Amino acid sequence: MIKIVKRDQPSRAIFFFTPVLAIFLTLVAGGLIFYILGFKPFEALKFFFIVPVADMYGLSELLLKATPLCLIAIGLSFCFKSNNWNIGAEGQLTFGAIVSGGVALLFYEQERFFILPIVILAGAIGGMIYASIPAILKTYFNTNEILVSLMLVYVSKLILDYLVVGPWSNPEGFNFPETRQFSDSARLPLLFEGLRIHAGIFLALAAVVISWFVFYKTYLGFQMKVSGFSLKTAKYAGYKGKKMIILVFLISGACAGLAGVGEITGPIGQLHREVSPDYGFTAIIVAFLGRLHPVGIIFASLVVAITYLGAETAQIFMQIPKYTGQVFQGMILFFLLASDYLLFFKFKLIGSKK
Amino acid sequence: MNTNLKISNVTKIYPGCVANDNVSLEFNSGKIYALLGENGAGKSTLVKILSGVIIPDEGKIYLNENNLELNSPSDAKKNDIGMVFQHFNLFETLSVFENLIIDSDEERESLREKIDSIMRKYNFSIDLDIPVLNLSAGQKQKVEIIRCLIRNPKVLIMDEPTSVLTEQETSELFLSLKKFSEEGILIIYITHKLKEVMQLCDEVAVMRRGKLVSVSEIKNENIESLANKMVGQNLKTIKKKKVKTSSDQLIKITNLNFTSEDPFETNLMDINFSVNRGECLGIAGISGNGQSELFQVLSGEILSDKNSIEFYKNYIGDLNPQERREYLMAFSPEDRLEQAAIPQMKIFENVALNNFKSSNFFNNGLINENKIKEHSKKIISDFNVNTDNIDLKSQFLSGGNLQKLIIGRELITSPDLLICFNPTWGLDVGAINYIHETLIKINEQNKSIILISTDTDELLKLSDKISVIHKGRLSKIMDSDEVTSEKLGILMGGGN
């Protein structure tokens, strides 16, 4: 007979094992879905997870998608570790893109070395401004940050929509909903000839290192950790709870804003309606799959980035909608939450006695 | 009819602990049985098995020779076993009557009559139509008891029923229990309070570390003999030496008020007191009368008017706990696991929660782990915390060891004033003794203590002066030599 028993202490090994298990279960369930749809499961999974990254171009695309996911997830990990449920990173990304795009358009047709740093900074500030709204409403008016941050996503998308259709639309653009192309000085340099991977990846890597340092080596990180476990304890210790909440929102907004900068100044080079294929939402899955740990987030962002690529390949080769990618992302989160049960419980074989 | 309840060879094993080790006991109606033991002795597990909440790994329960299959609380109810838990299971916003009928399928009218007759019989007077949140703790407990009585139970189990009651409410409860017993209900009374066992019960079963260590008649026992059985060793009694305390005033609270926006909190009204160096001021009261709010106001978790708290010539009412620590104040909150420490964090990380500038735990914003660890080791050895691994998560410390760690963490900076709230709540006798000795030692070093506690014996043992908090107001401050527990009981209940 199998019995479920509570674990005395969740081991470190199981803590990192369950995300792997979740990915495995996702593959099994995905294969099953493909089988039901009438495809050969192994072949379909190959198209989904191996073909897209089989060449240099594929790898570059993988890193291109993983960069914003990683950057946003790192920012979100600050919020989530301290129990602030910012799920509006998509909005912070969009607003960051709007502000940095606006600055880039100001320098339209100018080539100066200082333009790119200003554009990047503007994106971070844009994200911070947008993230400060739910933070301030939460700390001073007791609103629920989940609702506020989520609803602000749609506000930012509508603002972007208005700008690219209206005042900022390209005068020579035949009424396409997009702005002028940014000048080269406002664009993140490409790393390799012919590939789309750009310097934004260094921003993500810097975020990883900095967040690791802050979390594990600084008093600030310690305070965040304590506040995350128990606000009552944080209050008792004398930490400034409200400042802490606003701070983590600002960090998270800045990261999302930078991801927005990467999108518009990297591969796209202009503002248009859809600056992000929901990176801000998907990054929530990445953050949890990576256990809110900087290194874990790197791996998780690569895994989840594949689902974006796989969905595109599957659409081309197997004529299935690219939304399958979202199905896979959903399954990863689902199985992760389910297998987290193993953190607290274990199965035990016991001899049947009569 | 006579009721006979038999527990036969019951064993329940949890990972790392045997909660009940082959326990066999027999009860007969007409007597009141005490089940006595320290926290963690296994008495709660045993009664949860009797009430169907926990299923034992081995062993059987017989009621009048019938083997009972108790797989859920409703099985226990069906078999006429009623239980009143330590924490009430009532819906605060529903009326008393609604709470009583909620798990019954009888007709409303006939139930109402039944409830009325039960209340007449036992002299309970509770308005059935007011919401439960307006009741006192004693009345709430009566509601729970009525809920059991509706089902005409053969067995009534009471789990630590007096922890929230005043002395007066306790004696009322005891009268009712005796009456139930005369009517043939078998009563099992769980407690760790020896006095109550002597007062109320006819037989006593003592448990220690999951094992039944003795069953005896009360007339053959006394408080000391029971205490020794419960703890398993001979206890030394500690007594505070009364010394003349200084007249050097350390802290003075003037016209302190706190109005809460939360309806479940208590407002503090016009609090005034002062504490001299070397003195221990005890604040008694039934829980929920503003103790938690008073602690938070004193610790700085709730800020107040700057001038309302004067600490050695400084006005500190508007400072947060961190800032107050720099004035040499220390705080030990009631809730060890949710406030004073974080169970998921390591021991040394918990030590860093009391961050004192001169301890240099954090330099230029960076964590100075060596310093924290060094400090933690000192606390562990100075305060007898039973572990040698400061990398251990603190959830693996027993309650007593965790409390020693917390008190140690607060005291190692040698503060002038320690404010503690129920410092020995839920601890075993050994740890309680250690904490009490430590607190006495602080006073002897001319340091002061404000001791907020719901344990009257503890307060009488440790305090130089005592006041009682009732509904957010503080009684006048009395010399502890002139106070008896009866007097405190009256004040705690709101009398004069």
Question: Which pair of structure tokens corresponds to residue A218?
Answer: 């600084």
Inter-residue contact A211 to A71 (CB < 8 Å):
no
Q: What is the pLDDT of residue B330?
A: 94
Which chain A positions have a beta carbon within 8 Å of B344's beta carbon? 229
B344, closest residue in chain A (CA to CA): A229
Q: Does B391 touch chain A (CB under 8 A)?
A: no
Which residue among B339, B345, B367 sits closest to A219, beta carbon to beta carbon?
A: B367
Q: What span, in angstroms and rounded, lies between the C-alpha atoms of B201 and B216?
A: 11
Q: Does A6 touch chain B (CB under 8 A)?
A: yes
Span B138-164, pLDDT tens digits: 888 889 889 888 888 999 999 888 877
Helix (H, G, I), strand (E, B) or coil at B480: helix
Q: What is the pLDDT of residue A232?
A: 87
Select from B301, B327, B337, B393 the residue whose CB has the most chain A CBs within 10 Å, as the one to mutate to test that interface. B301
Count other C-beta atoms under 10 Å from residue A24's C-beta. 12
Inter-residue contact A44 to A34 (CB < 8 Å):
yes
Select from A8, A230, A231, A236 the residue whose CB has the most chain B CBs within 10 Å, as the one to mutate to test that interface. A236
Q: Is the pLDDT of residue B272 over 90?
A: yes
Amino acid at B475: S
> How far apart are the CA of B34 and the nearest CA of chain A, in angstroms?
31
Helix (H, G, I), strand (E, B) or coil at B265: coil
> How far apart are the CA of A219 and the nearest CA of chain B, in angstroms?
5
Q: What is the pLDDT of residue B17?
A: 66
Between residues 222 and 281 of chain A, which touch chain B (CB distance below 8 Å)?
222, 225-226, 229-230, 232-233, 235-240
Contacts of B116 (CB under 8 A, 6+ apart): none
Q: How far apart are the first and last CA of chain B?
A: 45
Q: What is the pLDDT of residue B297?
A: 95
Q: Is the pLDDT of residue B1 over 70?
A: no
CB pairs under 8 A between A and B: 66
Q: What span, in angstroms and rounded, lies between the C-alpha atoms of A210 and B170?
A: 60
Q: What span, in angstroms and rounded, lies between the C-alpha atoms of B450 and B274?
A: 10
Q: What span, in angstroms and rounded, lies between the C-alpha atoms of A26 and A37?
A: 16
Which chain B positions have a beta carbon within 8 Å of A229's beta carbon? 342, 344-345
- The CATH architecture one would assign to domain B249-492 is 3-Layer(aba) Sandwich (3.40)
CATH topology of domain B4-231: Rossmann fold (3.40.50)
Which chain A positions have a beta carbon within 8 Å of B340's beta carbon? 233, 236
Q: Percent helix, strand and coil across chain A, each rounded to 5?
A: 70, 5, 25
Q: Does B106 touch chain A (CB under 8 A)?
A: no
Q: Name the residue with tokens 């012919």.
A: A194
Q: Looking at B169-173, B325-329, B449-453, which range is the least confident one?
A: B169-173
Q: Do A9 and B16 touch (CB under 8 A)?
A: no
Q: pLDDT band for position B238 (50/70/90)? A: low
Span A6-23, pLDDT tens digits: 776 666 778 778 888 999
Amino acid at B154: K
> In chain B, what's the furthest Cα-to-Cα distance?
76
Helix (H, G, I), strand (E, B) or coil at A183: coil
Q: What span, in angstroms and rounded, lies between the C-alpha atoms of A123 and A117?
A: 10
> How far apart are the CA of A270 and the nearest CA of chain B, in angstroms?
40
Q: Do A222 and B354 touch (CB under 8 A)?
A: no
Quote the Cα angle for B298-B252-A235, to 5°: 15
Which residue among B323, B344, B349 sits closest to A238, beta carbon to beta carbon?
A: B323
Q: Does A348 touch chain B (CB under 8 A)?
A: no
| C-alpha distances in Å from residue B284, one per residue of A300, A353, B111, B450, B478 | 55, 54, 40, 11, 11
Which chain B positions have a beta carbon within 8 Å of A235's beta carbon? 301, 321
Which residue among A5, A6, A226 sits closest to B342, beta carbon to beta carbon?
A: A226
Q: Is the pLDDT of residue B246 over 80?
A: no
Which residue among A5, A221, A239 sits closest to B15, beta carbon to beta carbon?
A: A5
A228, closest residue in chain B (CA to CA): B342
Residues of chain B with CATH 3.40.50.300: 4-231, 249-492
Inter-residue contact B455 to B422 (CB < 8 Å):
yes
Q: Does B352 touch chain A (CB under 8 A)?
A: yes
Q: Do B367 and A220 touch (CB under 8 A)?
A: no
β-sheet bridge partners, residue A347: A4
Pairing of strands A2-6, A345-349: antiparallel
Half-sphere exposure of B318 (CA within 13 A, CB side): 4
Contacts of A54 (CB under 8 A, 6+ apart): none
Q: Do A218 and B355 touch (CB under 8 A)?
A: no
Quote the Cα angle for A320-A325-A326, to 5°: 120
Helix (H, G, I), strand (E, B) or coil at B396: helix
The CATH class of A2-349 is mainly alpha
> How far apart are the CA of A235 and the nearest CA of chain B, in angstroms?
6
Q: Do B322 and A9 touch (CB under 8 A)?
A: no
Q: Is the pLDDT of residue B362 over 80?
A: yes
Q: What is the pLDDT of residue A354?
A: 39
Q: Which residues of chain A have pLDDT under 50?
A: 353-354
Q: pLDDT band for position B109 (50/70/90)? A: confident
Helix (H, G, I), strand (E, B) or coil at B156: strand
Quote the Cα angle for B130-B136-B140, to 5°: 70
Pairing of strands B465-470, B280-284: parallel
Inter-residue contact B329 to B416 (CB < 8 Å):
yes
Q: What is the pLDDT of residue B242?
A: 65
For residues B192-214, give the mean pLDDT: 87
Q: If we measure between CA atoms, which residue out of B287, B33, B290, B38 comes closest to residue B138?
A: B287
Q: What span, in angstroms and rounded, lies between the C-alpha atoms of B405 and B413?
A: 13
Listed ranges A43-57, A129-143, B39-53, B343-357; the one with the highest mean pLDDT: A129-143
> How far apart are the CA of A232 and the nearest CA of chain B, in angstroms?
5
User: C-alpha dihedral over A26, A31, A34, A38, to 10 degrees?
Assistant: -160
Span B378-419, pLDDT tens digits: 999 998 888 888 888 888 887 888 999 999 999 988 899 999
Q: Looking at A198-202, A318-322, B331-335, B451-455, which range is the least confident one?
A: A318-322
Q: Does A218 touch chain B (CB under 8 A)?
A: yes
Helix (H, G, I), strand (E, B) or coil at A230: coil
Q: Do B344 and A9 touch (CB under 8 A)?
A: no
Domain ranges in chain A? 2-349
Inter-residue contact B57 to B34 (CB < 8 Å):
no
